[in-house]
Amino acid sequence: MVKIELNRTDDSYAFEAKDSNGHTVKMDGAAEIGGHNSGARPMQLLLMALGSCSGIDIVSILKKQRQEISNFKIIIEGEREQSKEPALWKHINVLFQFTGNIDEDKAKKASALSIDKYCSVAATLRAAGCLIDWKVQVKNDKL
């Protein structure tokens, strides 16, 4: 079982979460609701979790294929449902940008395996009705 501890850190909406290894994440509400903008919003953290979950999968797959990644950036944009409570993510676009000595087809296959099969965060979002689109850009160092 995973254990996460959250502690309120101010008189408003700010929290700090700590995992069992002592890693921390700061969260807060928007100023419009009385927060102090001192941390990420919870729904933003879900997009960050998607990126890191998928990124770890992809790096693992490409390392096994002996692909040389010199830089890897993931850009995520999401759109939430309007006029609903709770306002779930309804559509997410993910751009995987690679630099290195990387076969583009292998990068696309690794990305597909992650988003469609291995990434638990992606599966959780899809189960809630979210559409996840993705694409890959590769800039080869050798060119």
Residues 67 and 44: their CA atoms lie apart, in Å, by 30
Q: What architecture is domain 42-140?
A: 2-Layer Sandwich (3.30)
Tens digit of pLDDT for each residue in 66-86?
A: 999 999 999 999 999 999 999
Q: What pLDDT does 141 receive?
A: 79
CATH 3.30.300.20 maps onto the chain at 42-140
The fraction of the chain above a pLDDT of 90, given in percent, is 97
Q: Which stretches of the chain drop beneath a pLDDT of 50?
A: none
Contacts of 49 (CB under 8 A, 6+ apart): 121
pLDDT for position 143: 54
- Comparing CA positions, the residue from 79, 142, 65, 76 lying closest to residue 107 is 65
